[in-house]
Amino acid sequence: MKTQIRSIIRGFLTASTLFLVIATYSGNSFATTFASIQTDTSTFIQYKGFVLDSKTKKGLAFATISVLRTNISGVSNSEGEFSIKISKENSNADLMISFLGYRNKVISLKELQPEKNQILLESFNVALGEVIVSTNDADKLFSQVLSKREQNYGGDLNVMTGFYRETIRKRRAYLSLSEAVVEIQKEPYLNNVDDLIELFKGRKNTDYAKLDTLAFKLQGGPYTTTFLDIMKYPSFIFTDDALKVYDFSLENNTQIDEKKVYVLTFKQKPEITTPLYYGKLFIDTESMAIISATFNLNVEDKKAAGLMFTEKKPPGAKVYPLEASYQINYREQDGKWLFAYSRGDITFKVNWDKKLLNTTYQSSIELAVTDWKKKNNDPQKSTQKLRKNVIMMDKVSNFADAEFWGQYNIIEPEKSIETAIRKIQRKI
């Protein structure tokens, strides 16, 4: 039994982690370059605004904004702000806005202004009647989820366009900001082939002068966000033997996209000491598909958790995470669920031997799928294939103006990121 559990845990150790490559640095501030991109805005219309709770008027973070009868979609940022670009040929289409626990809202594009739109969503509390509550039944529910992967997520090879962003902060100051538009070759869910990612365009800025003689680099880039797809890569967190290391239970139920949803919680068993995960799975009661998940790494064992995240570090530095949280959302299309959005947020501390001071940093990664199609033999766009251990801040070199992204949809930057971008542009 112990041998089986050790084997299971080895699979978990590579799951959903954001590796830090840390080295001493003794140079000048990084000099950014500017790329002026002329954008043809005659082919698309852009709409901006906020998705808000109808009662509190607070922004709803990571709400889904999709264009009906197309594959175009976007996501609001952590403050509820969104933008979406739509070709003029779809100017008569409707937007659907959805968020966990709220009623969907459909709005005609003709009702929207180019900017400052406020879309109010109403919370929706639904009673599902009597539900299963025993540990046994919760375990069976999880097993059903895994058994219906192919039925719910499909066997097609899809090509997805996505927007990726990664940041490193020290308190409120941004030390590094990298963004990119990528193409994801999304492999069928039941084959053993990893997804392939290629780079369309990207930009970055890094201020090494603020890194306290340390150079932090996030390894894995967009690949880390795709590995958060727990239905494509269940062995990274859940395997067929997951019931041996996790306890499952049912919480209050909710609703998303007008669908009734089970809320299945999980946490590692008390006898398991290796850092694993705890969180919630949101499961469609009809199809048994996971349509969203939120989870955290157990970081109580600082040394073990630190080893999971740190690829390299200088002598005398102790690095360990204070918190590591993740999110994955799926979108339904023609009866199948597609990878739509993932995010990871890690707060970590650096302690030095023989020094009284220590420093706390925050790193974030996120990827939103903004368009997709089934794989065909169309001519390929100009892209650059990325390695799985890619360091994005080494891969992209240009920073640019607000028109840099052209017709590509992006995740609107939070106010703090907007401020950082304005500071960068003043230096250019």
pLDDT in tens, the chain (428 residues): 444 444 333 333 344 455 555 544 433 333 333 333 444 556 889 999 999 999 999 999 999 999 998 999 999 999 999 999 998 888 889 999 999 889 899 999 999 999 999 999 998 765 545 444 444 588 888 888 888 988 999 788 999 999 999 988 887 788 888 899 999 999 998 888 899 999 888 888 776 565 554 556 677 888 889 999 999 988 778 766 788 889 999 887 777 767 788 899 999 999 988 888 999 999 998 899 999 999 999 999 888 888 887 766 677 778 888 999 999 999 988 889 999 999 999 998 888 776 666 788 888 999 999 999 887 766 556 567 888 877 777 777 656 565 778 888 888 888 888 787 777 666 65
For residues 28 and 385, give the distance between their C-alpha atoms in angstroms, rounded to a whole number: 30
Residue 26's pLDDT is what? Answer: 38
SS (H, E, C) the chain: CHHHHHHHHHHHCCCCCCEEEEEECCCCCCCCEEECCCCCHHHEEEEEEEEEECCCCCECCCCEEEECCCCCEEECCCCCEEEEEEEHHHCCCEEEEECCCECCEEEEHHHCCCCCEEEEECECCCCCCCCCCCHHHHHHHHHHHHHCHHHHHCCCCEEEEEEEEEEEEECCEEEEEEEEEEEEEECCCCCCCCCEEEEEEEEEEECHHHCCCEEEEEECCHHHHHHCCCCCCHHHCCCCCHHHCEEEEECCCEEECCEEEEEEEEEECCCCCCCCEEEEEEEECCCCCEEEEEEEECCCCHHHHHHHHEEECCCCEEEEEEEEEEEEEEEEECCEEEEEEEEEEEEEEEEECCCCCEEEEEEEEEEEEEEEEECCCCCCCCCEECCCCCEHHHHCCEEECCCCCCCCCCCCCCHHHHHHHHHHHHHC
For residues 326 and 344, give the distance between their C-alpha atoms in angstroms, rounded to a whole number: 4
The sign of the CA dihedral 207, 208, 212, 215 is: positive
The sign of the CA dihedral 393, 394, 395, 398 is: positive
Q: Which residues pair with 330 in a beta bridge?
A: 339
For residues 308 and 335, give the distance between their C-alpha atoms in angstroms, rounded to a whole number: 37
The sign of the CA dihedral 409, 326, 422, 200 is: negative
- Token representation of residue 129: 């009647």
Residue 427's pLDDT is what? Answer: 61
Residue 25's pLDDT is what? Answer: 42
Give the amino acid at 182.
Answer: V
84 in Cβ contact with 98 (< 8 Å): no
The sign of the CA dihedral 299, 301, 306, 308 is: negative
For residues 309 and 273, give the distance between their C-alpha atoms in angstroms, rounded to a whole number: 17
Strand pairing category for 117-121 and 317-333: unpaired
Q: What angle do CA 146, 149, 154 make, to 5 degrees?
A: 175
Residue burial 354-392, b: 16+ Cβ < 10 Å; e: rest: eeeeeeebbbbbbbbbbbbeeeeeeeeeeeeebebebbb
Task: Please state, as a whole number, how many other Cβ atoms lie within 10 Å of the Cβ of residue 225.
Answer: 29
For residues 201 and 397, give the distance between their C-alpha atoms in angstroms, rounded to a whole number: 10
Q: Which residues pair with 197 in a beta bridge?
A: 184
In this prediction the pTM is 0.84
323 in Cβ contact with 346 (< 8 Å): yes
Residue 400's Cα: distance from chain center in Å?
A: 24
- Token representation of residue 96: 């659907």
Residue 386's pLDDT is what? Answer: 84
Which domains are seen in the chain, by residue range?
2-33+126-427 (no CATH), 46-121 (2.60.40.1120)
